[in-house]
Amino acid sequence: MTVPPFGLGTFRLKGQVVRDSVRNALELGYRAIDTAQFYDNEGEIGETIAQSGMGRSELYVTTKIKMPNYSREKLVPSLRESLEKLQMDSVDLALIHWPVPNGEVKPEEYLEALADAHAQGLTGEIGVSNFNIQQLRRAREILGDVPLATNQVEIHPYLQNRTLAQFARQEGLHLTSYMTLAVGKVMADPVMQDIARAHGATPAQVALAWALQQGHSVIPSSTKRENLQSNLGALELRLTDEDMARIGELDRGERIANPPHMAPDWD
């Protein structure tokens, strides 16, 4: 696995808020930053990283291509534009953000264009986000020898995506969990609170550790320095088999991110 297990997510963070979040995260020891063209914050992130004085080789930066840039003519130029905003020669990982199953641009076109970006050295690795099993199989057929570094998908205690996760394990495909805290719902969950108390931890740390112990990467976001620091504690937390089983019982298929026209038929 080349994708770092723990990184900073920046969805919905803009302006000074994202600058502060990235700056605090870097100071606290985060070394992976996740953004996207759709987030409209690549410029602020690039400025903050440049101001940090941190060497490029110390960081793992991910961005995602948005739907209007999927065509063969637009994808590579759009990634070059992202690189200008990020003030980098290349990102470490570029993803297709949503599969858009009924879109005008077919996966053959946008995946081959993404592979071309990789061949040009604009990204160290490529991957996808929000792909179902059928789309993952097709992506691998299209890409051939170019591996998928990850499939970034919504995974949290209330949406455990077990069918997809089992397929990924069987096929040696890595998953990155987003919305691992279920937009804060885990904090008020009695089961998560009980497990947290037993470990002297927070419910957020428990949710992140639960995902990490399944082999997933996590990219939680926060605007508060103390929460950014606390979330890192998940890396040291080891849940018991009983803890994992109790969290497993919380699954209720509660999907948060499901935009029409872009989302697939979920497994």
Annotated binding site: 97
Distance CA(263)–CA(267), nearest Å, equals 11
Q: How far is CA 18 from the centre of its chain?
A: 16
Q: Do 78 and 70 touch, CB atoms closer than 8 A?
A: no
Distance CA(248)–CA(22), nearest Å, equals 32
Respond yes or no: is residue 39 known to be catalytic. yes
Rg (CA), the chain: 18
Sign of the CA dihedral with 185 first, then 189, 191, and 196 last = positive
Cα three-residue angle 202-246-231, rounded to 5 degrees = 20
Q: Do 180 and 154 touch, CB atoms closer than 8 A?
A: no
Annotated binding site for substrate: 97
Beta bridge partners of 129: 152
Catalytic entry in 30, 39, 60, 178? 39
- How many helices (H) and strands (E) are present in the chain, helices listed first? 10, 8
Q: Distances in Å between the alpha carbon of 147 and those of 118, 154, 205?
A: 11, 21, 31
Active site residues: 39
